[in-house]
C-alpha cells in the first residue's frame, strides 16, 4: 500500500468505509479527548462511517483500567456530546472498542507494552461471541493512527519512542498496513522551533504520514470557501483587485484565558489564533484555483499565498500592527477581570490578548488590496467572519454624491454558519430612495440538519489518508516566516505599555484607527453596534 492513499472524492467516500484500524490517543485523560475526540468518534460510529472492526486506545500517565476509562468517557459524553441523546445500546457497542494503556510518555517500555496491547486488542476485539475468530491484523500489517493530544513539549519524545518500538513503520511493498500521526497545534513557538520540530518528526515519519491538525479547516463553511469561489461562475471573475476594495477577517471570543494564564502568556493572540487559524482563512480566500482537488495541489496554492505576503517591518507599533490587552469590563451583563488580574498571569505582562494587522499580498490578483485581520479575547460576541468589500460603483447615476453603500459578501464561519450578500435596492414609492438589502444563506435553515463537528471530518479524512484539510510543513514555516519580524518587533518593545480595551468592547481604539486612516471601518463592529461613533 502506498504511503498516502489516493484521495477519494466526496462521492466515492459517501459509499465506502475505511479499512479496519487502531487509534491510539496520547493524552487520553485530557480535556481535548473528553470534549472533542471521543464525541467525534462516537458520532462517526453512530453514522456508520467507521469500519466494523476498529479500536481506540487511550494512552496516559494516570492509573486507570479499561472499564474505568470507559466510565469517565461516558460521563464526559453527557456533558459534551453533540447528539441529543446517547443510545445505551450503541454506547455499549462503541465502548467495547475502547481500551486504556497506562505509561509515561518518555518511558520506552511503555511503547513496547503498547505494541503488545495493540496485538492483544486486535486479537480479542475481533472475536465475536456469535461468530468465528477473525485474523489478527497487527504483525506490522495493522493500520495504526496516533493522535498527539498532549502539550507540544511531548511531541518529539513521543515520536522518538514510537520509532524505537517500531510503530512508525513507513510504507513499502513489504508492508500491508499504514501508520499515521495527528499532531495538534501549536506547531512550534517561532520559525526556528517549527523548523526543528518538522525536521525531528519527518526523520521518523514521512511527510505523507503526518497530519498537522487545525480544527478550523474542518468547519463546513471553511471548506465551502473553495466551493463558493470555484463552483460559481459569478464569483471567480470578480475575485481580484479590479473589483474587490479590501477584505476583513475577524475571529473574536467572549472568553478570557480560562485558567490558562501560564500557557497563554507565552503565546498571546498572535501565536494562539492569528499565526495558524487566520492564516488558513486568508490563504483559502486569496489562493489561485488549483488544477485538481488532490491534497498537495490545494496545499501548494495556499503556500504560494503565504509566500506572497509582504513582510511587515519589525517595529510592532508600525502603521500595520496593533496589539491590545483586555482590562476589566462587562461580558453578557457580568463583571469580568482584566488580563493582568487573571489567575497566574505574571504581574505587568505585556502579552497581547488582541491583535490586528493590515496585510498585503504582492501578487497579480491582489495587488493593492488590503487584508485587515483581527482577533481578540473578551470581545462582545463569539464570531468568525470574513467580509469581502467590493469597490463602489462609479460616481454617476445613483452614486453621484458617493453615498451608496458598498456591496459586501459576509461569510460566517461561526456561529450560524452561512453567507450574507449586501446589495442596493429602491424603496417602493415615488422618490428614488436607495437602501441596502441583504440576501442570506444559512446552513441550518437550508439543509435542516446539524453541521458536523470539525473533528468528525478531520479524523475521518485521516483514516482515509486524505491530507487536503491538514497543514503541510512548508505551510507552517511560511506562516511563521511572515510573523517573525512582527514577533521580534514586539519582543524588542515588550517594556512599553500595551494599549488596553475594556472587556466587552471590540478592541483598542488604535485598531479602529488602523482602518480609519484608510477611510474604512470594521464592518462587523459597525453592524453589531448599529452605529460607528468615531469620526
What gap in Å lies between CA 421 and CA 437, rounded to an integer? 8
Q: Is the pLDDT of residue 395 over 70?
A: no
The predicted-structure confidence for 444-498, as pLDDT tens digits, reads as follows 888 877 777 889 999 999 999 999 999 999 999 999 999 999 988 877 665 568 9
Question: What is the per-residue pLDDT for 5?
Answer: 39
| Helix intervals (H) in 425-501 | 443-447, 454-464, 473-492
Is the alpha carbon torsion for 191, 196, 199, 201 positive or negative?
negative
Q: Is the pLDDT of residue 507 over 90?
A: yes
Residue with cell 495493522: 142
On whether the CB atoms of residues 365 and 288 are closer than 8 A, the answer is yes
Q: Is residue 415 reached through a cis peptide bond, with omega within 30 degrees of 0 on the bond before it?
A: yes
Residue with cell 437602501: 435
The predicted-structure confidence for 29-60, as pLDDT tens digits, reads as follows 999 999 999 999 999 999 999 998 899 999 99
pLDDT band with cut points at 50, 70 and 90 for residue 171: very low
Integer-rounded Cα Rg, in Å, for the chain is 25
| Angle value at C-alpha 148, between 146 and 154, nearest 5 degrees | 125
What gap in Å lies between CA 472 and CA 188, rounded to an integer? 13
The predicted-structure confidence for 52-111, as pLDDT tens digits, reads as follows 889 999 999 999 999 999 999 999 998 887 666 788 899 999 999 999 999 999 999 999
Bridge partners for 252 per DSSP: 376, 383
Residues identified as active-site = 277
Query: Residue 159: in which H helix or E strand, if any?
Result: helix 155-164
Distances in Å between the Cα of 175 and the Cα atoms of 54, 83, 135, 159, 338 are 19, 38, 16, 20, 56
Query: Residue 46: in which H helix or E strand, if any?
Result: helix 38-46
The reply to whether CATH 3.40.50.720 applies to domain 10-184 is yes
The reply to whether CATH 3.30.1950.10 applies to domain 217-452+466-529 is no
Q: Is the pLDDT of residue 531 over 90?
A: no
Q: Is the pLDDT of residue 11 over 60?
A: no
Query: 223 — phi, psi (to 5°)?
Result: -60, -35
Give the residue range(s) of CATH 3.40.50.720 domains in the chain: 10-184
Tell the burial category of 513 from Cβ atoms under 10 Å away from its Cβ (0-12, 13-18, 19+): middle
Question: What is the per-residue pLDDT for 423?
Answer: 79
**Coil, strand or helix: which one is 331?**
strand
Is the alpha carbon torsion for 164, 170, 175, 179 positive or negative?
positive
Amino acid at each position: 500500500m502506498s504511503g498516502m492513499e489516493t484521495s477519494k472524492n466526496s462521492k466515492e467516500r459517501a459509499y465506502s468505509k475505511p479499512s479496519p484500524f487502531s487509534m491510539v490517543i496520547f493524552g487520553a485523560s485530557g480535556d481535548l479527548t473528553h470534549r472533542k475526540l471521543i464525541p467525534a468518534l462516537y458520532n462517526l460510529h453512530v453514522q456508520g462511517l467507521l469500519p466494523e472492526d476498529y479500536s481506540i486506545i487511550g494512552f496516559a500517565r494516570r492509573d486507570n483500567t479499561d472499564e474505568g476509562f470507559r466510565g469517565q468517557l461516558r460521563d464526559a459524553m453527557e456533558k459534551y456530546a453533540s447528539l441529543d441523546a446517547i443510545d445505551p445500546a450503541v454506547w455499549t457497542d462503541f465502548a467495547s472498542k475502547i481500551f486504556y494503556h497506562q505509561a509515561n510518555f518518555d518511558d520506552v517500555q511503555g511503547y513496547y507494552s503498547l505494541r503488545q496491547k495493540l496485538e492483544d486488542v486486535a486479537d480479542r476485539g475481533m472475536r465475536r461471541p456469535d461468530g468465528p475468530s477473525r485474523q489478527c491484523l497487527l504483525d506490522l500489517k495493522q493500520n495504526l493512527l496516533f493522535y498527539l493530544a498532549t502539550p507540544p513539549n511531548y511531541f518529539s519524545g513521543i515520536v522518538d519512542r514510537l520509532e524505537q518500538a517500531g510503530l512508525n513503520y513507513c510504507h513499502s511493498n513489504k508492508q500491508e498496513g499504514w501508520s499515521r500521526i495527528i499532531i495538534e497545534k501549536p506547531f512550534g513557538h517561532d520559525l526556528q522551533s517549527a523548523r526543528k520540530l518538522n525536521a525531528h518528526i519527518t526523520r521518523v515519519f514521512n511527510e505523507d504520514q503526518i497530519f498537522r491538525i487545525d480544527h478550523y479547516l474542518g468547519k463546513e463553511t471553511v471548506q465551502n470557501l473553495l466551493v463558493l469561489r470555484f463552483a460559481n461562475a459569478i464569483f471567480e471573475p470578480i475575485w481580484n483587485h479590479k473589483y474587490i476594495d479590501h477584505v476583513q477577517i475577524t475571529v473574536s471570543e467572549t472568553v478570557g484565558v480560562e485558567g490558562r494564564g501560564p500557557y497563554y502568556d507565552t503565546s498571546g493572540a498572535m501565536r494562539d489564533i492569528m499565526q495558524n487559524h487566520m492564516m488558513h482563512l486568508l490563504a483559502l480566500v486569496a489562493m489561485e484555483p488549483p488544477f485538481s482537488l488532490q491534497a498537495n495541489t490545494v496545499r501548494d496554492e495556499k503556500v504560494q499565498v503565504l509566500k506572497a505576503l509582504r513582510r511587515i517591518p519589525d517595529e510592532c507599533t508600525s502603521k500595520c500592527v496593533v496589539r491590545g490587552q483586555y482590562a476589566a469590563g462587562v461580558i453578557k451583563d457580568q463583571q469580568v477581570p482584566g488580563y493582568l488580574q487573571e489567575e497566574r498571569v505574571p504581574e505587568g505582562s505585556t502579552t497581547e490578548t488582541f491583535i490586528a494587522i493590515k496585510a498585503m499580498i504582492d501578487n497579480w490578483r491582489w495587488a493593492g488590496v488590503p487584508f485587515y485581520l483581527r482577533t481578540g479575547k473578551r470581545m462582545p460576541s463569539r464570531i468568525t467572519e470574513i467580509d469581502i468589500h467590493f469597490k463602489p460603483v462609479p460616481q454617476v447615476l445613483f452614486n453621484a454624491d458617493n453615498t451608496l453603500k458598498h456591496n459586501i459578501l459576509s461569510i460566517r464561519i461561526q456561529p450560524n454558519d452561512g453567507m450574507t450578500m449586501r446589495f442596493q435596492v429602491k424603496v417602493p414609492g415615488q422618490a428614488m430612495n436607495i437602501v441596502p438589502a441583504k440576501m442570506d444563506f444559512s446552513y441550518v435553515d437550508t439543509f435542516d440538519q446539524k453541521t458536523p463537528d470539525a473533528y468528525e471530518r478531520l479524523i475521518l479524512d485521516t483514516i482515509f489518508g486524505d491530507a487536503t484539510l491538514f497543514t503541510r510543513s512548508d505551510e507552517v514555516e511560511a506562516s511563521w516566516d511572515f510573523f517573525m519580524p512582527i514577533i521580534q518587533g514586539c519582543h524588542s518593545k515588550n517594556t512599553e505599555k500595551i494599549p488596553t480595551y475594556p472587556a466587552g468592547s471590540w478592541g483598542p481604539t488604535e485598531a479602529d484607527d488602523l482602518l480609519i486612516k484608510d477611510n474604512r471601518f470594521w464592518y462587523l463592529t459597525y453592524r453589531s453596534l448599529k452605529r460607528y461613533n468615531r469620526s
